[in-house]
Amino acid sequence: MIRIMNEKKEYIPTNVYDVDAIKKLRVLPFEAVKADVPKLLEWLKDIHWPVAQGVAEYLLPYINEINEELLVVLNTNDGMWKYFMIYKLIGGSNKRLNPELILALRNIADNPTPIELEDLVDEAARDILMNKILCG
């Protein structure tokens, strides 16, 4: 018999005010939460949410380790999510970005969709691309 456990991960916020989850997240090693990065990135859809800053601060040192997850977000149709992701998470890094991420930002800057134009995602991407530390 296979028993499926519905494990509650207390470090994943359950609402925009769940700062207790962020406190639990901050003490965990990245390896313990790596599989949940997509769920954590969901909390960056609006950087004004109380949990957003804590999630961004936690993930920031691992910007290149979450490259694939970031690329998924940058390929969505959610302009504001992309905008917040670019400015708050990617732009907050002090590490050179992976080439795939730089290419995705260049594609947004050079060929923005109507949503990306409306939400200024193309401008955010251009700002990051001009950063010599991040993009060399």
pLDDT tens digits, the chain, 136 residues: what are they? 444 344 679 999 999 999 999 999 999 999 999 999 999 999 999 999 999 999 999 999 999 999 999 999 999 999 999 999 999 999 999 999 999 999 999 999 999 999 999 999 999 999 999 999 999 8
d(CA 102, CA 61): 17
Given 3-state DSSP classes, what are the helix, strand and coil percentages for the chain, each rounded to the nearest 5? 60, 0, 40
Fold held by 19-25+35-135: 1.25.40
**pTM of the prediction?**
0.89
**C-alpha dihedral sign at 115, 66, 62, 105:** negative
* Number of residues that make up the chain: 136
Burial string for 112-122 (b: 16+ CB within 10 Å, else e) reads beeebeebbbb
